[in-house]
Amino acid sequence: MIMVTGATGQLASATLAELNAQGATAIGGSRTPKDCGRHLDFDDPASLDLKDVSTLVLVSAGYAEDDQVIARHAAVVDAAVRDGVGHIVYTSLTTAGDHLGFALAHRATEITVMNSGLGWTILRNGLYAELFGALLTWTPGGLVSAFGTGALSAVARADLAAAAAVVATGPAAHSHKIYDLVGEPIAAADVAERLDVTHHTISLGEYRDRLLASAGLLPFQPPMLVSIATGIRHGFLDKTGSDLRKLLTRPLIDPLGVAAGSAAALRPALV
């Protein structure tokens, strides 16, 4: 049986849907399980029941500070070893993202998974095209970002879910492999052109100030988001690769279309 953690999240739920569409025996696990899912709370190791799971798709629980994320993932790996899981598929971060503010927890988890004694595959996921579009800000003059003229090798979330399902349904063929799953480079100006508006660049300092003034962001999030912006702006996240195409048997989803759709969905009615 395949289990996908964080099953109520967008990547995990899409992965579970892919597995179910293929007829795989798969269930989800989360704090708030739905349907036939299993209750899993990464902050409560006693709740981590992985019995009867042959392959575990460990979707990163990155919504916290590094120490908490690393502890969560380590608890899941310990439970996998204890309960006899055969293979862990971990959704990590693209290799080009080593400098990003949330990379450390991913790399630490990779080491934990590799040292577990279990079969493993690391999926180094590129940043979502959906996220790229959502990080563009609408103003009466069009779109604003701190990305400058830099580009991101963005990838549609659905493509990453499909790749995870491919690996999870045939883990032996992907054992002890690291895949860098990135898409095609797109820039903020490309999204603006697709939406027939202008794009204006602001400085990283102004972007940080805006984030710090935003309600609802947790303390670790502004520096995390600024690290994404500077990575794009200065050309560290536009590298391409072939791993995703090799895993999938269909063309990749157009990341520009996905990013533009994401941005358009957030457009205020009067802009």
pLDDT in tens, 87-142: 999 999 999 999 999 999 999 999 999 999 999 999 999 999 999 999 999 999 89
- Total length of the chain: 271
Which of 1-10, 38-47, 193-202, 226-235 has the lowest average pLDDT?
A: 38-47
Q: Which amino acid type is present at position 12?
A: A
Q: Which residues pair with 38 in a beta bridge?
A: 29
Token pair, residue 229, equals 């912006």
Please state, in angstroms and rounded to a whole number, the distance separating the CA atoms of residues 31 and 41.
5
Q: Which position has the token pair 């995390």?
A: 224
Please state, in angstroms and rounded to a whole number, the distance separating the CA atoms of residues 184 and 201.
21
Residue 205: exposed, middle, or buried by beta-carbon count in 10 A (0-12, 13-18, 19+)? exposed
- CA of residue 61 relative to chain centroid, distance: 10
pLDDT in tens, 31-89: 877 666 888 889 898 889 999 999 999 999 878 899 999 999 999 999 999 999 999 99
Please state, in angstroms and rounded to a whole number, the distance separating the CA atoms of residues 98 and 113.
18
Q: Which amino acid type is present at position 220?
A: F
Which residue in 85, 63, 81 sits closest to 6, CA to CA? 63
Please state, in angstroms and rounded to a whole number, the distance separating the CA atoms of residues 151 and 238.
5
Angle between helices 204-212 and 221-233 (to 10 degrees): 160
The answer to whether residues 94 and 185 touch, using CB atoms and an 8 Å cutoff, is no
Give yes or no for residue 246 having a pLDDT over 90.
yes
- How would you list the strands of the sheet with 177-181, edge to edge? 38-39, 26-30, 2-5, 55-59, 87-93, 119-125, 177-181
pLDDT at 35: 65
- Identify the CATH number of the domain defined by range 2-265: 3.40.50.720
Give yes or no for residue 30 having a pLDDT over 90.
no
Which of 178-192, 208-222, 230-244 has the lowest average pLDDT?
A: 208-222
Model pTM score: 0.95
Question: Which are the contacts of 11, defined by CB distance < 8 A and separation ≥ 6?
Answer: 59, 91, 157, 160, 161, 164
Which residue in 135, 133, 132, 108 sits closest to 122, CA to CA? 108
Q: Which amino acid type is present at position 15?
A: T
pLDDT at 31: 82
Give yes or no for residue 222 having a pLDDT over 90.
yes
E strand segments, 24-141: 26-30, 38-39, 55-59, 87-93, 119-125, 137-139
pLDDT at 87: 98
The answer to whether residues 157 and 184 touch, using CB atoms and an 8 Å cutoff, is no
Angle subtended at Cα 96 by Cα 73 and Cα 212, rounded to the nearest 5 degrees: 70
186 phi, psi to nearest 5 deg: -135, 150
